[in-house]
C-alpha cells in the first residue's frame, strides 16, 4: 500500500509539473497550443481533421474508418501514422470540444515522460531529489514543448515512452543470468514500450531502438560476473524484446510496410533526408536559448541541467560517461549533413525514411536530464577530496563562461538579447548555487529544493516563450463564409482544389468538404504523378504538400498550369486560389474574401460509365451512387467501363450484382470495372488484410503480456 501511495504521489507531482509547461493554454483549455512564430500547426492541419473524421465515421456510419476521403482525393487512414487510429490515447481527442482533448493528451504524456525519466534515473542509483530533477528536465525540455507548438502530437507521445523503454531494457539486461524469467519479463515490457513508441510515431521509434541497442550493449559490457549461459540469456532477452516490440507495433507496422513502397516517401533522396539538419552554429543554443525560436532547431536543455551534468562528469558519477556519450551522439547526429556519421546511419532500414536529423536532440535532452539527476546527487553528497576541488573549479569556470558569453552577447546580439541575458543570469546563479551547496551549511533537502526551483524557473521562462493558444472558433472557423458558399455551389460528391492552400484542411473537414490537394507526409506516388500534369507541378523532390510550396508561402503565385480536364477526373468541381488562374474550362465566379473562385466546367461526377478503358472515351453519368468510409455502392447502366473517381489502392474489392469482379486501373490512378449490358449494382469494399492481421497481432500481444503480468 505504501509503495502504491508513493507511486501515486509521483504521478500527481509530474501532472502538476506538466501543467506548468502548458500554462499558456490555461486561459483557453479548449483552444489549440501553437508555436508563437507559426501560422500553421500539424495539430490543426492533420490531427484535428483526422480526429473529426474518426468521430464522424463512428457516429454517422457506425464504422471505424479505414479510408480517408478528406484530402488528396482519398488515401488509406488506418496505415497513416497521423490518423492516430492505432494509438488509443489519441482517440481521446475525438470526443472533446475544440483542442481540449489534444491538450489532455499532451498533458498526460508530458507527465508520463517526466515520471519515466525519474524512474530511469532511480534505476541508475540516483536519489529521489535527483530523480525528480531528471524528470523535470526531460518533460520540460524546450524542444519537447516546442514540438507541442508545432502540433507534433505523435512525436511528443512517442518521446514520452523513450525513458520507459530504456528503464525496462536496463532492468532486463541487468537481471542475473541464473534468473532468466525476470530478465525475460522486463525484456517483454521493454518491447511493449518500444512498440507503443512506434504506434505513437514510427519516426521516433528508430532512434529509440538505437538507444535500446546502445544501452543493452553497454550494460552487458559492464557486467563483471558472467556466469555460464549469460550469452544465451542475453540473446533470449533480446529475442523476447524484439518479438514483443514487433507484436505490439503490428497494428500500424504491417499496413504501413505495405503502403510505404506505394508512396513518395519510398523515393526519399539524400538531399531530402538532410534538408532539416541542425547547423553547427545552432549548437550555441545549448548555452543561449532562442526565446520563441523555431522548435526544430532548439538545442537548449537548460543551464541548470547542464551545470548539474558537468557536476556528474567531474565527480565520475555512476554511468555518467555513458549518458555523456548519448548526449554527444545525439548532438552529432542532429547535425545531419554536416557530419559523416548521420550519412552512414541514414543508409540503415528505418533511418532511410527519416528527414529531420535535428530531432536527435531529444535523445540528448534525455541524456542531459539523467546526468543532471546524477549531478544533483553528487553535489549534495560531495565530501571533500580531489573530486570536490575539481567540482569547485568546474563550477566557477562554467559560471564565468556563461556570464561572459551572456554579457558579451547581449551587447552585440540582434533580436536574441533576452536569451543572452538569461544565459548570464542563470549561469551566474547556477555556479553560485553549486558553490553554496558545497558549503553544506544547510541540509541536502534545502539545496535540492533550491536546484529544483532554479531548473523549473528557467525552463518555464523558455517554454512559455514558445507557446500561445489559438481559440477554437479562430482555429476552426477560418474563411467560414467562403466555406459555406463553396459547400452550397458544389455538386454532390464533387471535390475542391486549391493551388494556394486557400481552404485550410481543418476548416474543410469541419464543413465536410473533400479536397484534391492536401498536406501529408505519406502521399500515394500514383496520385502525385497524375496531379503533376493536371496542375503543372514540376518535380522538385519530396514534399509533404500537394502541390509543393517551394517558396514556403502558399499564397505566392507559383504560376500553376491548370488542366481542367485532368482535374475533372478527380471530380474537382471548384478551384479556389489566392491569385488569378487561367485555363480553358475554368469559369470565373465572383470573388469571396479576396479569393478567386472558378467552376471547373469539365468536372466529372464521382462515378461514370465510359465506352472503353481509355479515359478520353465518351462517358455518361451513373444512375445513383452511395458512399461510406469503407464501401461504395453504384447503380449503373452498361455496357462499358464503370470508373470511380477514387484513387487506386490494394485491397479494394469489387462485386457486380453480388458476384466478385476484377478491378481495373484507369488512367494510371483511378479504379474501374467492366460491366455488361443492362442495369447493375456494383459495390467496392475496402478489406485491408494487413490492418486486420496487424490489429489481431497487437491485441494478442497485449493480452499475452497482461496474462503473464497478472501471473507474475
61 touches 629 (CB < 8 A): yes
For the chain, the average pLDDT equals: 92
| CA distances for 437 relative to 129, 221, 379, 431, angstroms | 14, 35, 7, 10
When pLDDT is cut at 50, 70 and 90, the band that residue 177 belongs to is low
Q: 409, 388, 280, 264: which is closest to 335 by C-alpha?
A: 280
pLDDT at residue 1 tops 60: no
pLDDT band at 384 (very low <50, low <70, confident <90, very high): low
pLDDT given for residue 383 in this prediction: 66
Q: Which long-range contacts (CB under 8 A, 24 or more apart) does 109-112 make?
A: 109/156, 109/157, 109/160, 110/14, 110/17, 110/18, 110/21, 110/22, 110/139, 110/140, 110/144, 110/156, 110/160, 111/11, 111/14, 111/15, 111/17, 111/18, 111/139, 112/14, 112/160, 112/161, 112/164
Residue 390, pLDDT above cutoff 60: yes
33: phi then psi, degrees, rounded to nearest 5: -70, 135
| pLDDT tens string 484-497 | 999 999 999 999 99
Burial (0-12, 13-18, 19+ Cβ within 10 Å), 541: middle
Give the confidence band of 345 by pLDDT, cuts at 50, 70, 90.
confident
* pLDDT greater than 90 at residue 226: no
Q: What is the pLDDT of residues 688-698, one digit of tens each?
A: 999 999 999 99
Higher per-residue pLDDT: 27 or 135: 135
Question: How many whole angstroms separate alpha carbon 204 and alpha carbon 363?
Answer: 10
Q: pLDDT tens digits for 250-272?
A: 999 999 999 999 999 988 877 78
Q: What is the pLDDT of residue 7?
A: 72
642-671 pLDDT per residue, tens: 999 999 999 999 999 999 999 999 999 999
Residue 344 in grid coordinates: 552512414
pLDDT higher than 70, residue 115: yes
Beta strand ranges found along 419-544 (DSSP E) = 467-470, 495-497, 518-519
- In this predicted structure, the answer to whether residue 527 has a pLDDT above a threshold of 60 is yes
Confidence at residue 671, expressed as pLDDT on a 0 to 100 scale: 97
* Model pLDDT for residues 294-314, shown as the tens digit of each residue: 999 999 999 999 999 999 999
Q: What was the pLDDT predicted at 227?
A: 66
- Span 424-430, average pLDDT: 95
Question: For residue 400, what pLDDT band results from cuts at 50, 70 and 90?
Answer: very high
Q: Which residues contact 190 (CB under 8 A, 6 or more apart)?
A: 165, 168, 169, 172, 212, 241, 244, 245
* pLDDT, tens digit, 9 for 90 and up, residues 127-160: 999 999 999 999 999 999 999 999 999 999 999 9
Q: Alpha-carbon distance 214 to 596, whole Å?
A: 56
Q: Enter the pTM of the model.
A: 0.95
Instruction: Verify cis geometry, omega within 30 degrees of 0, for the bond prior to 547.
Output: yes
Note the residue count of the chain: 712
Amino acid at each position: 500500500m505504501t509503495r502504491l501511495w508513493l507511486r501515486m504521489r509521483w504521478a500527481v507531482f509530474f501532472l502538476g509539473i506538466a501543467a506548468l509547461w502548458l500554462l499558456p493554454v490555461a486561459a483557453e483549455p479548449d483552444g489549440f497550443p501553437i508555436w508563437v512564430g507559426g501560422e500553421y500547426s500539424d495539430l490543426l492541419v492533420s490531427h484535428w481533421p483526422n480526429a473529426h473524421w474518426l468521430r464522424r465515421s463512428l457516429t454517422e456510419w457506425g464504422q471505424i474508418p479505414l479510408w480517408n476521403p478528406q484530402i488528396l482525393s482519398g488515401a488509406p487512414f488506418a496505415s497513416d501514422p497521423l490518423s492516430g487510429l492505432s494509438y488509443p490515447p489519441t482517440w481521446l481527442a475525438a470526443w472533446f470540444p475544440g483542442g481540449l482533448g489534444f491538450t489532455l493528451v499532451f498533458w498526460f504524456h508530458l507527465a508520463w515522460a517526466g515520471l519515466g525519466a525519474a524512474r530511469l534515473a532511480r534505476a541508475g542509483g540516483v536519489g529521489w531529489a535527483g530523480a525528480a530533477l531528471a524528470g523535470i528536465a526531460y518533460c520540460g525540455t524546450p524542444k519537447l514543448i516546442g514540438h507541442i507548438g508545432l502540433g507534433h502530437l505523435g512525436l511528443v507521445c512517442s518521446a514520452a515512452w523513450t525513458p520507459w523503454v530504456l528503464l525496462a531494457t536496463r532492468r532486463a539486461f541487468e537481471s542475473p543470468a541464473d534468473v532468466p524469467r525476470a530478465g525475460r519479463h522486463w525484456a517483454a515490457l521493454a518491447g511493449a514500450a518500444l512498440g507503443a513508441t512506434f504506434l505513437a510515431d514510427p519516426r521516433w521509434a528508430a532512434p529509440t531502438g538505437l538507444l535500446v541497442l546502445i544501452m543493452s550493449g553497454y550494460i552487458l559490457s559492464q557486467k563483471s560476473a558472467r556466469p555460464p549461459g549469460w550469452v544465451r540469456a542475453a540473446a533470449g532477452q533480446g529475442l523476447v524484446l524484439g518479438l514483443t516490440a514487433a507484436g505490439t507495433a503490428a497494428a500500424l507496422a504491417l499496413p504501413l510496410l505495405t503502403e510505404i513502397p506505394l508512396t513518395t516517401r519510398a523515393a526519399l533522396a539524400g538531399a531530402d533526408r538532410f534538408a532539416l539538419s541542425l547547423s553547427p552554429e545552432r549548437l550555441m543554443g545549448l548555452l543561449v536559448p532562442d526565446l520563441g525560436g523555431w522548435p526544430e532547431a532548439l538545442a537548449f536543455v537548460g543551464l541548470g541541467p547542464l551545470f548539474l551534468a558537468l557536476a556528474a562528469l567531474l565527480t565520475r558519477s555512476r554511468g555518467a560517461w555513458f549518458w555523456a556519450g548519448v548526449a554527444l551522439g545525439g548532438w552529432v547526429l542532429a547535425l545531419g549533413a554536416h557530419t559523416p556519421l548521420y550519412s552512414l546511419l541514414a543508409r540503415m532500414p528505418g533511418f532511410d525514411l527519416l528527414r529531420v536529423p535535428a530531432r536527435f536532440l531529444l535523445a540528448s535532452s534525455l541524456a542531459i536530464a539523467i546526468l543532471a539527476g546524477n549531478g544533483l546527487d553528487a553535489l549534495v553528497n560531495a565530501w571533500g577530496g580531489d573530486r570536490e576541488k575539481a567540482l569547485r573549479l568546474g563550477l566557477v569556470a562554467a559560471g564565468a563562461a556563461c556570464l561572459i558569453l551572456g554579457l558579451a552577447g547581449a551587447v552585440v546580439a540582434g533580436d536574441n538579447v533576452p536569451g543572452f541575458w538569461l544565459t548570464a543570469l542563470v549561469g551566474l546563479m547556477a555556479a553560485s548555487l553549486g558553490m553554496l551547496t558545497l558549503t553544506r551549511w544547510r541540509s541536502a533537502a534545502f539545496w535540492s529544493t533550491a536546484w529544483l526551483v532554479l531548473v523549473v524557473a528557467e525552463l518555464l521562462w523558455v517554454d512559455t516563450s514558445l507557446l500561445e493558444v489559438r481559440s477554437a472558433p479562430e482555429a476552426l472557423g477560418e474563411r467560414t463564409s467562403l466555406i459555406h458558399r463553396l459547400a452550397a455551389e458544389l455538386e454532390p460528391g464533387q471535390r475542391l482544389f486549391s493551388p494556394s492552400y486557400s481552404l485550410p484542411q481543418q476548416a474543410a473537414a469541419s464543413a465536410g468538404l473533400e479536397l484534391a490537394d492536401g498536406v501529408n507526409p505519406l502521399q500515394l506516388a500514383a496520385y502525385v504523378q497524375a496531379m503533376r500534369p493536371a496542375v503543372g507541378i514540376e518535380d522538385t523532390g519530396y514534399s509533404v504538400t500537394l502541390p509543393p510550396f517551394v517558396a514556403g508561402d502558399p499564397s505566392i503565385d507559383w504560376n500553376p498550369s491548370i488542366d481542367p480536364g485532368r482535374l475533372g477526373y478527380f471530380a474537382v468541381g471548384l478551384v479556389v486560389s489566392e491569385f488569378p488562374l487561367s485555363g480553358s474550362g475554368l469559369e470565373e465566379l465572383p470573388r469571396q474574401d479576396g479569393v478567386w473562385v472558378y467552376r471547373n466546367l469539365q468536372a466529372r461526377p464521382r462515378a461514370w460509365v465510359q465506352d472503353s478503358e481509355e479515359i478520353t472515351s465518351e462517358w455518361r453519368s451513373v444512375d445513383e451512387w452511395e458512399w461510406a468510409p469503407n464501401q461504395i455502392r453504384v447503380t449503373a447502366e452498361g455496357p462499358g467501363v464503370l470508373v470511380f473517381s477514387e484513387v487506386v489502392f490494394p485491397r479494394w474489392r469489387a462485386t457486380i450484382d453480388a458476384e466478385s469482379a476484377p478491378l481495373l486501373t484507369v488512367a494510371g490512378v483511378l479504379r474501374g470495372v467492366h460491366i455488361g449490358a443492362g442495369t447493375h449494382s456494383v459495390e467496392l469494399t475496402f478489406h485491408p488484410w494487413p490492418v486486420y492481421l496487424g490489429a489481431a497481432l497487437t491485441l494478442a500481444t497485449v493480452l499475452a503480456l497482461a496474462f503473464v503480468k497478472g501471473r507474475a
